[in-house]
Amino acid sequence: MSPIMYKVFIQWLPWFLMMKKSRRRYIPRDFPRLSSQDSNEVEDVSEGDRYVEIMHSPHRDKIPAKKLVQLLLLEQILDDLKEVNAITKKQFEEDLESTNWRYVAIVFDRLSLFVSCAFVIISTTLLFSSIFTLAMLFTVWVMLNLTYTPILAGPIKPEIPIEYEGDAIIWPDDGIADPTCGIHPLRSIVKKLENTQPNMDQEALVRLLSLMRNRAPKLWNSYQSMLAAYHNCKLISAGGSLG
């Protein structure tokens, strides 16, 4: 594992995610080495050379045979211990690396948990905020409808004109339904509302048409389309031409 990855996933992220630190394992320190100058002065000697050196040493006669056997045995044990130490050190390093990677997997799991929780919280907040916004828009729409209701509710006196053109109000007929084109569009609205507001006057009608034009463009366009169709029908029934 690289040092940067070790710092990020073993040290920094666990602290940020409020995790318990991994079990610290210390690598055993190597034995002190000779300096480069001393090591150059010391010659590498193989096992056979050491044996020959001991066997042909001038002080060989002074060393008892039992001690000599013990020295050779200790030297063999030392070589075996070096091999065992090398194998153990390699296994220890592999085990330490495996432990670090397992801890990295746990860190990834905790990070995924935090990201998932944050996503759920943010998405839920946005969902409820959008529902609240839609509820507010619906409330505004209802309030606007309630504002229009007193103006839309009520009949018109027969002498009140029902067509709105610019600032002029013109009453085009006498309220009798045409056999071909039917009743005037605004008169049909008046008939539907005449039971709710019987005292509607000319100013209320003007406010109604103004509100339709300024605040309810779709309703105003629908009314204008019905009015244009009614006029075209009247024109054709009178023998006129649309062109």
Nearest to 194 by CA among 162, 216, 234, 172: 162
Quote the pLDDT of residue 154.
Answer: 40
- Mean pLDDT across the chain: 69
Nearest to 170 by CA among 205, 198, 204, 197: 205
Does residue 110 have a pLDDT over 50?
A: yes
Quote the pLDDT of residue 74.
Answer: 86
Number of C-beta neighbours around residue 14 at 10 A? 20
Structure tokens at 122: 């943010």
Angle, to 10 degrees, between the axis of helix 202-215 and the axis of helix 65-152?
Answer: 150
pLDDT digits (tens, 9 = 90+) for 117-171: 999 999 998 888 778 777 766 665 665 555 444 444 443 333 334 444 444 444 4
pLDDT digits (tens, 9 = 90+) for 74-87: 888 888 888 888 88
Q: How far apart are CA 201 and CA 203, in angstroms?
A: 6
The answer to whether 104 and 9 are in contact (CB under 8 A) is yes
pLDDT digits (tens, 9 = 90+) for 93-109: 888 888 888 888 888 89
pLDDT digits (tens, 9 = 90+) for 167-215: 444 445 555 566 667 777 777 666 666 666 666 666 666 777 777 777 7
The model's pTM is 0.36
Does residue 41 have a pLDDT over 70?
A: no
Quote the pLDDT of residue 92.
Answer: 83
Domain layout of the chain by residue ranges: 3-17+51-137, 163-237
